[in-house]
Structure 1
Amino acid sequence: MSSQRSTTTLWRPTGPVELELVRELGWRAWPPRLPEQPIFYPVLNEDYAVKIARDWNVVHDGSGFVTRFEVDSEFLRRYPVQQAGGRTILELWVPAEELDEFNAHIVGEIQVVHEFR
């Protein structure tokens, strides 16, 4: 008898360059952060991810995407929820040096759920 891990759904707004790197990683991991990106911040709700992808990524990158993925809930307990604005502006702040370990706890594939141009 196998036990299924409890997972938490996270979203990540992203531009076309990062999305291509995710594709190259087989839709199973996020690429390493750039030097000017000390944290990886997935968000806790779809509406917030849509707002960033639509209002920021499209303006800066020409297109924006919202991804959805599952992460082992027990592992996520190490990252307190950060309120980055209003009540629904919620993120997890994963230090760049912990991203490989974070990626190892992704369950299934990263999926694109919205695209904006």
Structure 2
Amino acid sequence: MSTLTLWRPVGPAELELVRASGRRAWPPRLPDQPIFYPVLNEEYAVKIARDWNVPAHGSGYVTRFAVDAAFAERYPVRQVGGRTILELWVPAEELAEFNAHIVGRIEVVHEFRAGGGDGA
């Protein structure tokens, strides 16, 4: 099976929910979050975790995971800024099915804390 590697920047609360799943699933979206959007570029995920999650939550994390590539093709890739700022848009109501197609575990590859530093 071919897989697609994706990244997702998260704050501490979302990371705890991922850990609670055994690092195998993303938590359901909140009512004001109609889209789950992992990103296709590690550098973009780092920027979000470091520049947005740290100021908002005191820490930010970049996770990496793989999903069945054939399954992932059903979701549109959206360019939300520059040429490399790409997100996969998964409707919130399809997240459980998306989670079922994750291959392996969700891993933390970068950790940022207030005061600086990458603790991964």
Specify the alignment match of 2:105 in structure 1: 109
Supply the distance in 1 between the matched residues of 2:54 and 2:44 (Cα, whole angstroms).
Answer: 15
Q: RMSD of the TM alignment (CA)?
A: 0.4
Specify the alignment match of 2:64 in structure 1: 68
Name stretches of at least 5 consecutive residues in structure 2 with no aligned partner: 114-120
- In the TM superposition, 1:25-64 aligns within 5 A as 25-64=21-60
Supply the distance in 2 between the matched residues of 1:24 and 1:113 (Cα, whole angstroms).
Answer: 18
1:110 counterpart letter in structure 2: I
Name stretches of at least 5 consecutive residues in structure 1 with no aligned partner: none
TM-score (norm. length: structure 1): 0.96
**Where do 4+ consecutive residues of structure 1 move more than 2 Å?**
none
TM-score (norm. length: structure 2): 0.93
Specify the alignment match of 2:19 in structure 1: 23
The answer to whether 1:10 aligns with 2:36 is no
Quote how far apart the aligned CAs of 1:80 are: 1.7
1:93 counterpart letter in structure 2: W
Specify the alignment match of 2:93 in structure 1: 97
- The alignment covers a number of residue pairs equal to 113
Supply the distance in 2 between the matched residues of 1:79 and 1:85 (Cα, whole angstroms).
Answer: 18
Q: Secondary structure of the equivalent of 2:81?
A: coil
Supply the distance in 2 between the matched residues of 1:78 and 1:9 (Cα, whole angstroms).
Answer: 15
Supply the distance in 2 between the matched residues of 1:52 and 1:107 (Cα, whole angstroms).
Answer: 24
